[in-house]
Amino acid sequence: MKINILFNIAIFLLVISCLNNKSSNEYNEIDFTQKEIKNQEFKNPKVKETNDTAVEFAKKGENSKAETIFLEALEIEPDNYTIMSNIGLNSLIQKKYNLRK
């Protein structure tokens, strides 16, 4: 439940941020190099590597693959805001606004 609430808040903030910073014509051109979370903390170095791999797939436009990898990382560190944020941004790019299963 807590993760769903945090995830929804992250999506909302990302949407608001993107709408404030982009015109509607530029909406689909969001890219992972535009925003960076400073002082990213990962408890497990493997999770950081997994997150970085997913980001690389997202940068190449392979967002479905990136989503799968982000979700794998989130299973290991379910309270990691960096991963949640990346999932939200990746979902926004794909126009997938509801990931609840």
Q: What is the share, in percent, of the chain residues with pLDDT greater than 90?
A: 39
Take residue 55 and report the two structure tokens written for it.
């980001």
Q: What is the pTM of this model?
A: 0.61
The pLDDT confidence band at residue 16, using thresholds 50, 70 and 90, is low
* Predicted local confidence at residue 26, as pLDDT: 44
Per-residue confidence (pLDDT) for residue 28, from 0 to 100: 46
- C-alpha 80/C-alpha 86 separation (Å) is 10
Q: How far is CA 39 from CA 7, 24, 76, 81, 82, in A?
A: 20, 31, 19, 11, 10
The pLDDT assigned to 33 comes to: 56
Q: What is the pLDDT of residues 39-75, one digit of tens each?
A: 668 899 999 999 999 999 999 999 999 999 999 999 9
For 48, 49, 57, 84, the CA distances from 45, given in Å and listed in that order, are 5, 6, 19, 17
Tell me what pLDDT residue 47 has: 95
